[in-house]
């Protein structure tokens, strides 16, 4: 995947860039809302580009609800990575 410099200041003790695929839910929950949103948008965009399809959505028009689901899931599984948690919540659109 990639790395996000703004994540490193909040979650990495050594201030080095943290690879996004390694950010845990615990680290994600420690971030402010703006950084949480940026991470979710970034991961969603990455997955969208990687899949090369318009078949996935995270409900951008109703962002508060999916964000709440992601936060709830992260609170339940703090050691899980954010990308995995988010990917499990990306829903497929019906054809």
pLDDT band at 92 (very low <50, low <70, confident <90, very high): very low
- Bridge partner list, 57: 91
10-36 mean pLDDT: 78
pTM of this structure: 0.66
The C-alpha atoms of residue 87 and residue 47 are separated, in whole angstroms, by 8
- Phi, then psi, of 31 in degrees rounded to 5: -80, 160
39-51 mean pLDDT: 80
- Phi, then psi, of 61 in degrees rounded to 5: -80, -15
Question: What pLDDT shows up at residue 34?
Answer: 86
**Segments making up each domain of the chain, as ranges:** 23-92
The C-alpha atoms of residue 82 and residue 55 are separated, in whole angstroms, by 21
CATH architecture of the domain 23-92 equals: Orthogonal Bundle (1.10)
């Amino acid at each position: 995947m990639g790395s996000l410099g703004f994540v490193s200041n909040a979650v990495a003790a050594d201030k080095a860039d943290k690879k996004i695929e390694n950010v845990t839910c615990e680290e994600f929950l420690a971030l402010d809302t703006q950084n949480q949103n940026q991470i979710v948008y970034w991961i969603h965009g990455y997955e969208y580009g990687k899949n090369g399809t318009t078949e996935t959505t995270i409900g951008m028009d109703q962002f508060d609800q999916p964000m709440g689901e992601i936060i709830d899931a992260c609170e339940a599984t703090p050691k899980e990575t954010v990308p995995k948690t988010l990917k499990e919540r990306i829903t497929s659109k019906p054809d």
